Amino acid sequence: MATSSMSCGRLVSWISAAVLLQILGLWLFVSGFFPVKPTVPGFSGPESYRMPTCEDVLVDERRDLLPDQLAKMYMDLSQIPPAFDRMILMVIDGLPAEFVLGKGGQPPEKSLMDAMPYTQFLLSERRAIAFHAKAAPPTVTMPRLKAMISGAIGGFLDVAFNFNTQAFLDDNLLDQFYQIGWKLVMFGDDTWIKLFPSLFRRYDGVNSFYVKDTVEVDFNVSRHLEVELVANDWKLMILHYLGLDHAGHIAGRHSLLMNSKLKEMDDTIRLIHTHNALNGDDDGGRTLLVVVSDHGMTERGNHGGSSFEETDSLALFADLWSESLVYASNMHNEVFQVDVAPTLALLFGVPIPKNNVGVLLIEAFNSFTDEHKLRALELNSWQLLRLLQVHLPHLLCRDLREGASGGQVVQSNEYFDNIEEKLHHLYSKAMAAHTLWKLSERDSSGRSENSTNSYNAVASYYDFLRYGSEWLSHRATDKPIKLILSGVVLLLLSSVLLFYLLLLQFKDHGTERKFGSALKNCSCVWHLDETFVSVGTFLHIFSLGASSMVEEEQYTWHFLSSTMCLILFYMTMLSFLKEQQTVSVEMKKDGKLDLHQSQITHTSVAKYTARVILMKPLHTYFRIYSLLIVLICGRILRGWHQGGVNWAHLPDISKWLEQTSSSCMKAFEITSLLLVMMLSLFALSLLKSRTRYVLIASFGIVVLGFLVLLHIIENQPVNRSTSIAQIFYFNFGILVFGTFILSPWILPLNFQEHSDSHSSAVKTDGVLMGIQDSLYVVGVIYASSWCILQLLLQQPVNAIPMLLIFVQTMACIIYFSASGHHRQLVEVAAVYFLGMAGHFYLGNSNTLATIDVAGAFIGISSYSIIFPSVLMFIITFSSPILSYLSMLVCISTKDIVSLSLHERPDLSQLLNLMIAFPCLLPLVLNSAVLTTFTLILLVMRNHLFVWSVFSPKYLYVCAGTVSVYIGLYVVTVTVVYTCTVFFFRAKLLKFGNS
Amino acid sequence: MMAFSEITTPKAAALHLLCSLSLLVVHWLAWNLYSWSLITHTSETLGLCLIVHGPIVIGVYSLVRRDRQHCSYWMAVARGLLGLPVGALVMAFGAIVLGAPVGIRYLKRTAYWSLLMSVFTFVPPACVFGSSRVDWHRIFAHFKPEESLDALVCLPAYGSVIGAWIGAWPMPLDWERPWQEWPICVTYGAVAGYWIGGLASSVFILIHGPVHVKED
């Protein structure tokens, strides 16, 4: 047996190797799947009209300027007279550009042309110009609006890390307009109000939640038009129509609803375009109508992914002032959605937002002179250069001016291996062409030559801009497939390795059990419990493929953990039935057992077994009651928070409690605190040896409880409360760390009673008993102080759930310690299941919205990022970590004494016996979820809900993996330390005796 | 020597066919007479099922009772009637612990559902074995039935419990279908499991034959 079992050191190193592989794979996948691009903080100011240099010094010169002065300064600096004074930004949610422009040079279908007669008239009369504006995934509204007004492509993690505020804080057009004193009004989708809570002078937000409604949402926008079009106080009016997107969601892309909706949109465009108040320049000035859509839609009307149908959005510019044809007739241009931002910024004379990766649409500048066009391109290039400089710090430190002023341009057909060189080359070329044009303009020698020069300058500017823009946006959205795949492979590899290690352990322990559990009396059931662990895990993993099962994961976990308990209950009842039926048979078996043990000749072990047999009926009742407690607590907890997404509004206990008075809530909190304290004190008092030490530990718990009590009674955001919390953290640290360090040294080795016998078996026995006691104390202290910490941090409404989870975990451990016939596998799995169910019992869900941000600032007096994040992690993963910590108690209640009957285990074997399963199994279960969900995310990357459901869930899975690592690390270190110290003490004692 | 009649394959098949058909007939009756369905009138349909299916199960299983010398037919019926509420309590406990709603609105449905589940699971062994601890332990401890009578009793019971458990899985999905309500899809799952269990037990008896019965 000893030969077959893997030594502890080797096992630990294999496990660590697998964990390291997993971490590496996870890191590779995450960095591939969720690219983080560095955004530049702050807002563009006057500096954007200066050429960027190697060391760009940022001086905010706008601070003391009034809006009017700022606008004047921008106009002077830009050297371009603003073409327009007012703008109407009409957003038609979900309109594919194909409906207006057709596809591949072909005009759209006849029915679609007929549905939008006025728009088609504007386009054919060249009074408007329209583009296929390719949107970047995720094609859902909020990120797309952000892209249009900031010109930046955000990654998912940007959204995730700003979960406590939805307001848009990066540089954007709307804020730029606001700073130069524009008045903004907004009607339509309330996403705008979420993005800019305080920017709009007048607004009427409609909610996009009621997807079934296609009429009211748009009526609520259009009803404002009559009044607002006449009003002349606003400079920018945003109209966001949701009806077309809703029509798509209901009936798909080619439904009849769609045509009537298109007609309605066309009528709105006609109304605006022909409105008298906007056509004259009497008071309102020149107005630009911009019609954009945020994304397209698939054949079935969905969106979110990256297919052509979804990313094909529209950008249409119509000059309301001019009667004649203003625009060139190139209608089928394919541009990018982000190009809207620099175009509008330059048309209206504000600085281009800092993070913009778009390129201005020169066709919209048709009424500009060549000089102004080139100047606009130059400004756009400077802005892009500044952004490129963030990625490539040495880009501008090359001598740009030399290349430009000398007019000596390197030949373009050269091979560039370096992106910096390529960008540098393109930019110098553009500058040179611009300078050439300026020279020829000054000479005014030949008209034709001049226009050729201007054409060349525009073209070379575009070469640079497009190249830089594409490079930047690829950095933001490209998913490097090699990175992702290597990550997935590593994850798979580590899962397989962990599973293989578990199987090896299974084999070893399997042979062991045949000896160790002669007491087992229920071999008849073909391991229903073990089968369920694998089936349940498989079902859970399988269910993660469905978005609504991810949203409502709390049902899955409750169902699985309760079923697990019901199965255990069923097995207990069976053994109960059998016990009374076959008492005589049992007695015979016991006799045999005693005989077997007498060969080993060990009195205390015989006593131990005798005690076990005598206590059997009592144990059965224990088991039944503890399982009933687990089940009933679980049901109450399920009713505490409704959770999830679809049924979150239904009444539950927490909603009911929140309506009661705060004193009532405090009473609940204090009650649960006292009960947790009493339970942990009781658990500590069960230990018989060295009462003084246990008394000190109990005193530590009481102190912690008292501090939390003070905090609850205080419950005011004053300094004193903060200091109480800080004292609590300090005491918590001392208690936990102190117990961990001191317990193995102080608790007795249990040698005294057998001092007459000097056989080595007795010594081992004493050591084992000591280890058990010590682990028990440490485990109880860990678990109970963790619970008390949670009572401090969690919302008041979660006080009782925390108590119930603690009770559940303890009851579960009592059950397993009272019943000898389950494998350790089942025990660890049951505790793990309870921990995962508890995660959702505390009101957590798979959306980022349920993270308790307020609790993360308890006891924090100065600003920091790390400490609140740690607290937030502690609050969110309190229940899983509690379950890992209570594995220590599980380990200590296992009868390792009876396991060691047959031979004297050395340290390594003992460690292997104790921590192999508790460490491996959670790792295996978690890595199964992690790996599968990684694959699911990869498969679902074009799914509608990938950003709203699957990606947040992935963040939870990653954080859950971290919690597994932390919890198991603590368990392993504690067990290894305790065992080592005890063996060391035993050796010392041996030397002392001899 | 216990004397009980041989359970041949045709007999077992007829028994299961009768039990299964009765459920179909109830469904048909409810739809045609009252135009009820499980989705629109959940508790009424469940009640009707109980009224029709319950007596059939009790009557049929009492016929195949064990230990005929000491136990009359009516005794077996009485045992079945006694087992009905006890089993219903167990089933209701299980369902509520697993997350069935507990509001007053659901009280009637839960009660009818658990009575029906009791008819599927607890009533047959109660009729057949009475309170014999040995038999109960044997049929609930062994998933592999050892004799035909066990198969007749326990396979449909296991089938219905496992079916109900599986039937609960679609409930959290956001399909917004009326049948996702408690306990409609659970009942469908249970009935499907019951039928499969009945079929399995018929097949079991076909394979093992009535020989095993004689041995005892």
ipTM computed for the complex: 0.93
Mean pLDDT of the region B160-174: 92
Let me know if A172 is exposed, middle or buried by CB neighbors in 10 A (0-12, 13-18, 19+): buried
Strands A287-292 and A128-134: unpaired
Give the closest-approach CA distance of A947 to chain B in angstroms. 18
Q: Take residue A802 and report the two structure tokens written for it.
A: 């925390």
Is residue A699 very low, low, confident or very high in pLDDT (cuts 50, 70, 90)? very high
The string of pLDDT tens digits covering residues A511-535 is 554 434 433 444 444 578 888 999 9
- Partner residue opposite A559 with nearest CB, options B137, B168, B175: B168
Q: Give every CB contact of residue B14 below 8 A, 6+ residues apart in sequence.
A: none
Q: Which residue has the higher pLDDT, A448 or A293?
A: A293
Contact A943, A305 (CB under 8 A): yes
Average pLDDT over chain B reads 85
Model pLDDT, residue A704: 93
**How far is Cα A40 from Cα A43, in angstroms, rounded to an integer?**
9
Contact A315, A344 (CB under 8 A): no
The string of pLDDT tens digits covering residues A934-959 is 999 988 877 777 777 888 899 899 99
- Of A51-55, A500-504, A632-636, A641-645, where does mean pLDDT reach its minimum? A51-55
Let me know if A247 is exposed, middle or buried by CB neighbors in 10 A (0-12, 13-18, 19+): buried
Q: For A223-242, give one letter per residue: b (16+ CB within 10 A) or e.
A: ebbeebbeeeebbbbbbbbb
Q: Which of A212, A557, A562 to mutate to test the interface with B (most CBs of B within 10 A)?
A: A562
- Partner residue opposite A635 with nearest CB, options B96, B133, B172: B96
- Partner residue opposite A555 with nearest CB, options B133, B165, B172: B172
Mean pLDDT of the region A156-160: 62
Model pLDDT, residue A756: 45
CB–CB contact A574 B102 (8 Å): no
Residue B212 has pLDDT above 50, yes or no: no
CB–CB contact B137 A581 (8 Å): yes
Residue B178 has pLDDT above 80, yes or no: yes
Model pLDDT, residue A7: 72
Identity of the highest mean pLDDT range in A168-177, A638-647, A983-992, B43-52:
B43-52
Is residue A600 very low, low, confident or very high in pLDDT (cuts 50, 70, 90)? very low
- Of A153-167, A208-222, A273-287, A726-740, where does mean pLDDT reach its minimum? A153-167
- Give which of B157, B146, B97 is closest to B122, Cα–Cα: B157
Quick check: B172 contacting A, CB < 8 Å?
yes
**How far is Cα A247 from Cα A265, in angstroms, rounded to an integer?**
13
Let me know if B70 is exposed, middle or buried by CB neighbors in 10 A (0-12, 13-18, 19+): exposed
Model pLDDT, residue A588: 45
Q: Give every CB contact of residue A500 below 8 A, 6+ residues apart in sequence.
A: none
- Of A149-158, A333-342, A813-822, A912-921, where does mean pLDDT reach its minimum? A149-158
Phi, psi at A606, each rounded to 5°: -60, -40
List the beta strands (DSSP E) in chain B: none
Q: Which residue has the higher pLDDT, B136 or A963?
A: A963
State yes or no: cis peptide before A117, omega within 30 of 0: no
Is residue A58 very low, low, confident or very high in pLDDT (cuts 50, 70, 90)? low
CB–CB contact B174 A548 (8 Å): yes
CB–CB contact B172 A549 (8 Å): yes
Give the closest-approach CA distance of B108 to chain A in angstroms. 20
Encoded amino acid at A932, one letter: T
Identity of the highest mean pLDDT range in A276-280, A860-864, A896-900:
A860-864
- Give which of A287, A280, A283, A305 is closest to A295, Cα–Cα: A305
Q: Take residue A461 and report the two structure tokens written for it.
A: 């500017």
Encoded amino acid at A934, one letter: T
Model pLDDT, residue A801: 95
For residue A778, what are the CA distances in angstroms to A37, A431, A972, A985?
45, 72, 13, 18
Residue A302 has pLDDT above 80, yes or no: no
Q: Which residue has the higher pLDDT, A693 or A719?
A: A693
Cα end-to-end span (Å), chain A:
32
**How far is Cα A528 from Cα A526, in angstroms, rounded to an integer?**
6
Model pLDDT, residue A754: 45
Residue A489 has pLDDT above 80, yes or no: yes
**How far is Cα A407 from Cα A386, in angstroms, rounded to an integer?**
23
CB–CB contact B172 A634 (8 Å): no
Residue A55 has pLDDT above 90, yes or no: no
Residue A123 has pLDDT above 90, yes or no: no
Residue of B nearest to A560 (CA): B98
Quick check: B99 contacting A, CB < 8 Å?
yes
Residue A343 has pLDDT above 80, yes or no: yes
Model pLDDT, residue A217: 85
Q: Which residue has the higher pLDDT, B144 or B123?
A: B123
For residue A417, what are the CA distances in angstroms to A388, A420, A422, A601?
17, 9, 8, 80
Mean pLDDT of the region A427-435: 88
Query: Could you tell me how many CB contacts below 8 A there are between chain A and chain B?
Result: 63
Q: Which residue has the higher pLDDT, A670 or A255?
A: A670
Q: Which residue has the higher pLDDT, A376 or A908?
A: A376
A38: DSSP letter: P
Residue of A nearest to B94 (CA): A566
State yes or no: cis peptide before A138, omega within 30 of 0: yes
H-helix or E-strand spanning residue A290: strand A287-292
DSSP secondary structure, A594-644, as one string: HHHHHTT--HHHHHHHHHHHHTHHHHHHHHHHHHHHHHHHHHHHHHH---S
Chain-centre distance for alpha carbon A185 = 34
- Of A183-197, A727-741, B154-168, where does mean pLDDT reach its minimum? A183-197
Average pLDDT over chain A reads 81
Cα end-to-end span (Å), chain B:
7
Is residue A901 very low, low, confident or very high in pLDDT (cuts 50, 70, 90)? low
- Of A353-367, A564-578, A788-802, B127-141, where does mean pLDDT reach its minimum? B127-141
Contacts 24+ apart (CB under 8 A), A413-421: A419/A392, A419/A471, A420/A392, A420/A394, A420/A395
Is residue A403 very low, low, confident or very high in pLDDT (cuts 50, 70, 90)? very low
Encoded amino acid at A459, one letter: A
H-helix or E-strand spanning residue A955: helix A951-993
Model pLDDT, residue A599: 42
**Which residues of A fall below an 8 Å CB-CB distance to B?**
524-526, 528, 539, 543, 546-549, 551-552, 555-556, 558-559, 562-563, 565-566, 570, 574, 577-578, 580-581, 631-632, 634-635, 638-639, 644, 646
Give the CA dihedral B125, B128, B133, B134, nearest 10 degrees.
-110
Residue B198 has pLDDT above 60, yes or no: yes
Model pLDDT, residue A393: 76
Give the closest-approach CA distance of B139 to chain A in angstroms. 10
The string of pLDDT tens digits covering residues B78-87 is 999 999 999 9
- Partner residue opposite A549 with nearest CB, options B141, B143, B173: B173
Model pLDDT, residue A904: 60
CB–CB contact B133 A581 (8 Å): yes
DSSP secondary structure, A83-142, as one string: S-SEEEEEEETT-BTHHHH-BTTBPPPHHHHHHSHHHHHHHHTTSEEEEEEEPPSS-SHH
Strands A287-292 and A86-92: parallel
Q: What percent of chain A has pLDDT over 70?
A: 81
Sign of the Cα pseudo-torsion (A530, A531, A534, A537, in order): negative
CB–CB contact B136 A526 (8 Å): no
Q: Which of B129, B131, B137 to mutate to test the interface with A (most CBs of A within 10 A)?
A: B137
Residue of B nearest to A646 (CA): B174
Q: For A510-526, give one letter per residue: b (16+ CB within 10 A) or e.
A: eebeeebbbbebbeebe
- Of A202-206, A209-213, A587-591, A692-696, where does mean pLDDT reach its minimum? A587-591
**How far is Cα A465 from Cα B1, in angstroms, rounded to an integer?**
98
Contact A346, A376 (CB under 8 A): yes
Give the closest-approach CA distance of A565 to chain B in angstroms. 10
Q: Take residue A226 and report the two structure tokens written for it.
A: 């009559």
CB–CB contact B98 A566 (8 Å): yes
Q: Which of A543, A547, A577 to mutate to test the interface with B (most CBs of B within 10 A)?
A: A577
Q: Which residue has the higher pLDDT, A207 or A810?
A: A810
Contacting B residues, span 179-208, partner chain A, CB-CB under 8 Å = none
Locus of tokens 């019609």: A291
Cβ neighbours of B173 in A, within 8 Å = 546, 548-549
Mean pLDDT of the region A872-899: 86
**How far is Cα A847 from Cα A633, in angstroms, rounded to an integer?**
25
For residue A499, what are the CA distances in angstroms to A533, A603, A836, A936, B29?
14, 40, 20, 20, 54
Residue of B nearest to A566 (CA): B94
Let me know if A72 is exposed, middle or buried by CB neighbors in 10 A (0-12, 13-18, 19+): middle
Q: Take residue B102 and report the two structure tokens written for it.
A: 């507990």
Encoded amino acid at A859, one letter: G
A280: DSSP letter: S
Q: For A692-730, give one letter per residue: b (16+ CB within 10 A) or e.
A: ebbeebbebbebbbebbbbbbeeeeeeeebbebbeebbe
R_g over Cα of chain A: 36
Give the closest-approach CA distance of A759 to chain B in angstroms. 44
Residue A633 has pLDDT above 70, yes or no: yes
CB–CB contact A548 B141 (8 Å): no
The string of pLDDT tens digits covering residues B4-39 is 456 777 888 888 889 889 999 998 989 998 888 888
Residue A691 has pLDDT above 80, yes or no: no
Q: Which residue has the higher pLDDT, B39 or A21?
A: A21
Alpha helix segments (H runs only) across A747-823: 760-793, 799-818
Residue A332 has pLDDT above 60, yes or no: no
Phi, psi at A238, each rounded to 5°: -105, 125
Is residue A256 very low, low, confident or very high in pLDDT (cuts 50, 70, 90)? confident
Cβ neighbours of B169 in A, within 8 Å = 539, 543
